[in-house]
Structure 1
Amino acid sequence: MLKSSVLVCCLALSAFAFTRGAYAMTPAGELIQNNATVSFDMNGATQTVQSNTVETRVAELVSFEVGVMTPMLGGAKAGAILTYMLDITNTGNGGECFVISQQSSANVAAPVELVAVHADSNGDDAFNAATDVVVGDGSCGPQIAPGQRVRFFALGRMPEDTSVSRAELALHIAPHDGGPGYGAVLPGAGDAGGDKVIGFNTDAGAARMWAQASRLVVSLVKSQLIYGRVQAIAVTGDVITYSLQFKAGGEGLVKGAVVSDPLPADLRYVPGTLNLDGVALSDGNDADGGQAGDDLVAVRLPDQVAPFEHTITFQAVVRPQSS
């Protein structure tokens, strides 16, 4: 009974070290050779006898971890392309490549559609469509050495249905050759003809990420009055009063908004006429957020949570041809 308990204990400890300390394991396929010697004294002389050599081929352990770097993306608009990030770490002892595919989820009516997968090519952990290699649909990504981590970028399209408030991108990650369940041993299928041991289960390869739909609706409407009248015809010297109505409805934060209106060559800004919600702004680029010159009018707005609206007004004169 004691012998049996010790055996179970040793197997449990070995399994733990095998999966968690993969980066420190002996490389898959390595041949370990070992022999023993015995030394003894015979007739006053030391004698040595060497044993036969025994060989052990190190099995290939297939094990990995998936880390989701972007569990939730906010402010997603209908049909927009979103960039998700996930890290795959090879915790086995042999080089592996992995296939990333979309997994349908029964409880999600409108999932984010997987449109492309890129692998980080230079290790900067930032997505660059021009340099990060594309991993084809159903294809194996770059080879990942034992203990190495590689970041992948999954590009997904938000559903076109504007009534969707939240959408899910469910991904399945697996080694290129798949394999049976956890603990299975595949004789001769590992590196250098050794055995292959499956050290992961299906849960290890699941990555679920979400997108929160944007409820923010922004609009900008421009109108004009010529000497107080709504008309579209002006002559040289006429003063036109422009009105810019900026609205934000729904839910969300509008940050860093700048309303700018470049004036064509036939118009000249009338100094001192720039207003925000009826309050005069200076023409210089200073703390009040307003800036105006002959050919450009701009107003920098404070960060604000919707819903809100602002009205910007200013005047411009129709230039004579000689001015």
Structure 2
Amino acid sequence: MNTYLSPLSRAAGIAGCSLVALSVTAPLANTAHATGVLAGTLIENTATATYQSGSTTGSVTSNKVTVKVDELLDVAVATLSTAPATATSEPAVLIYSVTNSGNGPEAFNLAADPKTSGNGFDGTIKSVVLDSNSNGVYDPGVDTVLTAGALATPVLAPDKSTKVFVLVDLPAGATDAQTSQVRLTATAQTGSGTPGTSFSGKGEGGGDAVVGLTTASANSLAALIASLANISLSKSATILDPFGTAKPVPGAIVTYSLAAKITGSGTLDGLHVIDTIPDGTTYVPGSLKLDSAALTDGVDGDAGVGGASGIDVTLGKITGGTTKTVAFSVKIN
């Protein structure tokens, strides 16, 4: 009887035997990772043939085949801002996450682009910042501000993320409630391109680095909205003469009313209402008022100062939708 031997058996030098069983085992040096087997992992494979020849049984082991896993370059970028960030006199803070979705350690170059189709305005990128303490909140003086020419994440292990803040200033000419978007792009420092593009010897452990389905570059858009306030100041006067009528004769009292109307969704800071005493008149002491409440003339704890040179009322920080009225009186000389 002729006995058929598999190519593996022949390669192992077995002749004239009756083949009973053939098994192949493939132990891995590492378990599978969420992003796939880690780059640089050695996958080792050895086959075994068991046989019976007459009354003798035995086995033979093949040579070991080792494959080193190449590095796959992939990245994901997501916007973490659930609503448009507010841009006022302070920059808007946009929040993104950058995740290494490849199977090897990789750093990613960052680029923030404020020029997006459909924008009501194109903001000005003030800075790109890494969340140094990983609390998800922009902390000035704590988080790391990236410098021009070095806009990149640290090296991220597979499946690890970092949060990135993009600070955006409003341009001149932006109006209240206008919206805009900024695109953050992250690109693998090793390289990017068409999926399957290979960078010889650039992968972890000296293997190749291969571009994954994301092209090793990804981006996401985050929105901001302008929150601005505007002010209009109107001035009116009423007259009471010594005869009880409204004639502007010497001795008549002129009461000026200054209405500061703040509109828009934003806030005005450091607001003052200032006026001078007209020539030919004299300030009436104790006549200064804010929203009908009397103010003292001297420099003290209240908001007003009044005297021969004029009046100055500090309104401070005022939100849109507010009207503040300042009044004072003078006497015609």
Query: Which TM-score bucket, shorter chain as reference?
Result: 0.5 to 0.7
Using the alignment, how far apart are the partners of 1:76 and 1:183 within structure 2? 45
Query: Aligned residue for 1:37?
Result: 48
> How far 1:188 moved relative to its partner?
3.4
CA gap of 1:82–1:74, structure 2 versus 1, over 3 A, is: closer
Contact 1:158 1:167 in 2 (8 A): no
Using the alignment, how far apart are the partners of 2:167 and 2:204 within structure 1? 33
Query: Aligned residue for 1:65?
Result: 76
Residues 261-283 of structure 1, C-alpha deviations (whole Å, 9 max, x = no match): xxxxxxxxx9xxxx9855x89xx
With 200-209 and 51-60 compared, the bigger mean Cα shift is at 200-209
Question: Counterpart amino acid of 2:323?
Answer: E
Query: Aligned residue for 2:98?
Result: 88
Query: Aligned residue for 1:154?
Result: 166
> How far 1:160 moved relative to its partner?
1.9
> How far 1:201 moved relative to its partner?
3.6
Matched, 1:121 2:132: yes
Contact 2:130 2:165 in 1 (8 A): yes
Question: Counterpart amino acid of 2:196?
Answer: G
Query: Aligned residue for 1:213?
Result: 226
With 181-190 and 95-104 compared, the bigger mean Cα shift is at 181-190
Using the alignment, how far apart are the partners of 2:117 and 2:174 within structure 1? 20
Matched, 1:309 2:320: no
Matched, 1:167 2:180: yes
SS in 1 for 2:135: coil
CA gap of 1:136–1:37, structure 2 versus 1, over 3 A, is: same
> How far 1:254 moved relative to its partner?
6.6
> How far 1:49 moved relative to its partner?
0.8
Residues 245-302 of structure 1, C-alpha deviations (whole Å, 9 max, x = no match): 66422x22779x9x9xxxxxxxxxx9xxxx9855x89xxxxxxxxxxxx96358xxxx
Which residue, out of 36, 40, 53, partners 2:64?
53
Residues 139-175 of structure 1, C-alpha deviations (whole Å, 9 max, x = no match): 2321111111110111222212245833332332211
Tell me the TM-score normalised to structure 1 length.
0.61
Using the alignment, how far apart are the partners of 1:277 and 1:306 within structure 2? 17
> How far 1:218 moved relative to its partner?
5.4
Query: Aligned residue for 1:184?
Result: 197
Matched residues, number: 252
Using the alignment, how far apart are the partners of 1:119 and 1:73 within structure 2? 18
Question: Counterpart amino acid of 1:159?
Answer: P
Residues 169-221 of structure 1, C-alpha deviations (whole Å, 9 max, x = no match): 23322111332212333443321222322124469622223322224225899
Pairwise CA RMSD: 4.5
Matched, 1:137 2:142: no
With 175-184 and 25-34 compared, the bigger mean Cα shift is at 175-184
Q: Percent identity?
A: 26
The structure having more radius of gyration, on CA atoms, is: 2
Contact 1:76 1:211 in 2 (8 A): no
> How far 1:85 moved relative to its partner?
1.1
CA gap of 1:276–1:160, structure 2 versus 1, over 3 A, is: closer
Using the alignment, how far apart are the partners of 2:66 and 2:216 within structure 1? 35
Residues 13-71 of structure 1, C-alpha deviations (whole Å, 9 max, x = no match): xxxxxxxx963521111111121222233454442211110111112111121111236
With 65-74 and 85-94 compared, the bigger mean Cα shift is at 65-74
Query: Which stretches in structure 1 are left out of the alignment for 5+ residues?
Result: 1-20, 222-242, 260-269, 282-293, 299-303, 315-323
Contact 1:87 1:151 in 2 (8 A): yes
Question: Counterpart amino acid of 1:39?
Answer: T
Contact 1:100 1:138 in 2 (8 A): no
